[in-house]
């Protein structure tokens, strides 16, 4: 293929992403971003999970103490609180009443992540004067501005611009220190979130990295004599013009595309497959188009790229279908339908992703935060759906989160969800505590205001502990919600009383294990609701000696010594 023919095809090639293993990616290989060649000061990764269309937060994070108001506002779509085989899942019985929430029944995997200290919920996230527009709302949340701002750059583009020092482009990039794109986006669009002022983002389209690398290497002129045709550089008299800059970028795409395609394919192969099984389909009935889990493959690919040595700092993954004006639930069961399938897809895929990261020893490096352009209204409509609203909850996943629920249950006497937290507070605090960005940079260069502990437009902001600058683990969080507290009397002779605490409704088994590790008796085995419980067991007739009383419930396991005389 001649270069001029290749260039004719570029408008098509740069408008859609390339794929690895059938997953489309947009590589942020554009001017300023790819000039940034100094290795970042840390190896942490941030993933943005876009819930495209506006998630209904009230059917995701269901109020418990205010359940009656919730039900009265949306009786045709409200998730049952009890007396149903599919009912809401109480998230955390230790929270104050005004923060008590439950999860949709298809979010059981999220409940497990929360119990393990791997998830945070933030209530009432929005921005002032939220107008409920898909396009405008998405642009605002991606550009990192206010409702009346029109930035041409995105907050992650500005972050990456400050995180790395510039080198000459394209000659000095990629290099040994930073061989990968700084940001990768899945899907067919190129989002404002990665843009920088005065630069041209790009993506490349190909069926597979090997095929595209071969195509580029076979272009006529790729091996040409630079004296007769220096890779098609525009005439010198155009130097400095916008045309010259854009033509340099387009013609340099031959080399850049080859480098990126080959590099990403190599790290993909090096990452290898995982033994973790990612969910592929919704296990219940749902409308056509909602059954397949489109998020799983995106997250699985990221885990594999990172395991293979990919140094990309930021990923954007997407799942759509949240614009649920009608048929959000089925007419015969409010726990079923499109929204239920979406909640299952995110919950189950994130659980698999965290297990995959753990298996690959990557869990300390990766944090995921959700975003949606707006929430939906408190009151349902007559079409078993919800209309565009304002605020809503976001979820943060990872070993580095400070787990819990931030904020209170929204005021359900209103038609819209009030803003409790400006979305820039969330991002600014995550960049500070997780990506270790200096507060001055956050205020002056990324969000143009101190959203961490300052005052912006008359509003005072306090630090939000959403992530940890040092990974310390979630032992304290778990032990305050799950514990095998006491076995008494100890020593015991005939009857022992066992006191324990769980934070989920689940099966609890308590076994007695002797000194050689053999299970000699089941002391308790049953289904228990969240809270503190006490059971009695007969140990009469067992040989005297030292035993282990071992409690297991879901992921949680704890042992206590018990002496029998």
Separation between Cα atoms, residue 212 and residue 215, nearest integer Å: 5
Q: Which CATH class for the 482-564 domain?
A: mainly beta
Instruction: Note the pLDDT of residue 6.
Output: 45
Strands across the sheet containing 101-103: 61-63, 101-103, 89-90
Sketch the domain layout of the chain as residue ranges.
3-460, 482-564
Dihedral sign of CA atoms 200, 318, 448, 133 in order: positive
Cα–Cα–Cα angle for 50, 51, 53, rounded to 5 degrees: 120
CA distance 139 to 133: 10
> What are the beta bridge partners of residue 22?
none
Instruction: Identify any residues that bridge with 514 across adjacent strands, giving them in sequence order.
Output: none
Distance CA 181, CA 496 (A): 61
Question: Could you tell me if 506 and 553 are in contact, meaning their C-beta atoms sit under 8 angstroms apart?
Answer: yes
Q: What's this model's pTM, rounded to 2 decimal places?
A: 0.87
Check whether the bond before 170 is cis (ω within 30° of 0). Answer: yes
DSSP designation for 120? E
Vertex 372 angle, CA 424 and 322, to 5°: 170
Q: What does the CA dihedral 135, 136, 138, 142 come to, rounded to 10 degrees? A: 130
Pairing type for strands 392-397 and 366-371 reads antiparallel
d(CA 138, CA 54): 10
Phi (first) and psi of residue 533, to 5 degrees: -130, 160
Number of other CB atoms surrounding residue 440 within 10 Å? 9
User: 3-class DSSP state for residue 145?
Assistant: coil
Q: Which of 272, 273, 288, 299 is nearest to 109 (CA)?
A: 299
CB distance 295 to 349 below 8 Å: yes
Burial class of residue 366, CB neighbours in 10 A (0-12, 13-18, 19+): buried
Which stretches of 363-467 are assigned E, i.e. beta strand? 366-371, 392-397, 404-406, 421-422, 455-456, 459-460
Q: For residues 278 and 303, what is the distance between their CA atoms, to the nearest angstrom?
A: 12
| CA gap 454, 465 in Å, rounded | 15
Q: Output the pLDDT for position 233.
A: 56
pLDDT of residue 245: 64
* Cα(91)–Cα(119) distance, integer angstroms: 11
Question: How far apart are alpha carbons 399 and 354 in whole angstroms?
Answer: 8
Burial (CB < 10 A; 0-12, 13-18, 19+), residue 276, is middle
Q: Is 294 helix (H, G, I), strand (E, B) or coil?
A: helix
pLDDT in tens, the chain (565 residues): 444 444 444 444 443 455 666 666 666 544 444 444 344 568 999 999 999 999 999 999 999 999 999 999 999 999 999 988 899 999 999 999 999 999 999 999 999 999 999 999 999 999 999 989 999 999 999 999 999 999 999 999 899 888 874 543 344 557 777 788 888 888 767 788 888 776 543 333 223 334 434 444 454 443 444 444 444 556 677 777 766 666 665 555 455 556 667 788 889 999 999 999 999 999 999 998 899 999 999 999 999 999 999 998 999 999 999 999 999 999 999 999 999 999 999 999 999 999 999 999 999 999 999 999 999 999 999 999 999 999 999 999 999 999 999 999 999 999 999 999 999 999 999 999 999 999 999 999 999 999 999 999 999 999 999 999 888 888 899 999 999 998 999 999 999 999 999 999 999 999 999 999 999 999 999 999 999 999 999 999 999 999 999 999 999 999 999 999 9
What is the C-alpha to C-alpha distance for residues 552 and 535, in angstroms, rounded to an integer?
14
Residues sharing a CB contact under 8 Å with residue 475, sequence separation 6 or more, in sequence order:
117
Kindly tell me the burial class for residue 558, based on how many C-beta atoms sit within 10 Å of its own C-beta (0-12, 13-18, 19 or more). middle
What three-state secondary structure class fits 354?
A: helix
Counting beta carbons within 10 angstroms of the beta carbon of residue 235, is it exposed (0 to 12), middle (13 to 18) or buried (19 or more)? exposed
Nearest to 188 by CA among 15, 401, 67, 393: 15
d(CA 53, CA 346): 15
**Of the candidates 464, 376, 392, 473, the residue with the CA atom closest to the CA atom of residue 428:** 464
Q: How far apart are CA 521 and CA 510, in angstroms?
A: 9
């Amino acid at each position: 293929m001649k270069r001029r023919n290749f260039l004719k095809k570029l408008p098509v090639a740069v408008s859609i992403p390339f794929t690895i293993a059938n997953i489309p990616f947009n590589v942020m290989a554009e001017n300023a971003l790819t000039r940034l060649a100094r290795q970042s000061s840390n190896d942490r990764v941030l993933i943005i999970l876009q819930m495209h269309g506006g998630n209904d937060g009230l059917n995701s994070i269901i109020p418990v103490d205010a359940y009656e108001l919730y039900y009265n506002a949306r009786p045709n779509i409200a998730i049952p609180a009890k007396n149903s085989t599919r009912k809401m899942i109480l998230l955390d019985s230790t929270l104050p009443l005004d923060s008590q929430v439950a999860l949709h029944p298809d979010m059981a995997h999220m409940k497990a992540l929360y119990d393990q200290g791997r998830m945070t919920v933030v209530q009432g996230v929005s921005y002032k004067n939220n107008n409920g527009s898909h396009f405008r709302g998405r642009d605002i949340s991606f550009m990192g501005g206010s409702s009346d701002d029109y930035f041409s750059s995105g907050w992650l583009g500005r972050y990456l611009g400050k995180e790395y020092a510039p080198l000459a482009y394209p000659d000095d990039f990629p290099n040994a220190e930073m061989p990968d794109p700084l940001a990768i986006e899945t899907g067919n669009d190129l989002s404002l979130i990665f843009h920088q002022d005065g630069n041209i983002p790009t993506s490349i389209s190909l069926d597979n990295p090997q095929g595209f690398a071969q195509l580029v290497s076979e272009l006529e002129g790729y091996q040409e004599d630079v004296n007769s045709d220096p890779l098609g550089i525009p005439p010198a008299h155009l130097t400095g013009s916008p045309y010259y800059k854009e033509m340099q970028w387009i013609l340099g795409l031959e080399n850049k595309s080859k480098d990126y395609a080959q590099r990403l394919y190599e790290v993909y192969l090096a990452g290898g497959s995982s033994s973790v099984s990612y969910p592929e389909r919704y296990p219940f009935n749902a409308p056509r188009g909602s059954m397949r889990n489109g998020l799983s493959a995106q997250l699985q690919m990221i885990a594999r790229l990172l395991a293979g040595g990919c140094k990309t700092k930021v990923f954007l993954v997407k799942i759509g279908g949240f614009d649920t004006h009608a048929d959000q639930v089925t007419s015969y069961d409010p726990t079923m339908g499109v929204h239920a399938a979406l909640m299952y897809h995110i919950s189950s895929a994130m659980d698999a992703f965290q297990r995959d990261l753990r298996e690959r020893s990557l869990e300390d490096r990766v944090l995921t935060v959700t975003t949606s352009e707006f929430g939906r209204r408190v009151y349902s409509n007559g079409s078993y759906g919800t209309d565009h609203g304002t605020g809503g909850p976001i979820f943060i996943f990872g070993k580095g989160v400070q787990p819990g629920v931030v904020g209170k249950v929204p005021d359900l006497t209103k038609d819209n969800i009030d803003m409790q937290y400006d979305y820039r507070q969330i991002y600014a605090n995550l960049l500070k505590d997780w990506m270790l960005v200096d507060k001055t940079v956050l205020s002056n260069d990324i969000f143009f205001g101190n959203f961490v502990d300052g005052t912006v437009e008359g509003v005072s902001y306090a630090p939000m502990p959403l992530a940890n600058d040092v990974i310390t683990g979630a032992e304290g969080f778990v032990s305050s919600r799950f514990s095998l507290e006491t076995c008494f009397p100890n020593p015991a002779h005939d009857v022992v009383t066992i006191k324990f605490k769980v934070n989920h409704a689940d099966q609890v088994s308590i076994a007695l294990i002797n000194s050689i590790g053999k299970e000699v008796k089941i002391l308790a085995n049953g289904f228990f609701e969240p809270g503190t419980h006490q059971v009695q067991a007969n140990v009469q007739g067992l040989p005297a000696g030292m035993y282990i009383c071992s409690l297991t419930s879901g992921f949680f396991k704890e042992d206590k010594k018990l002496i029998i005389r």
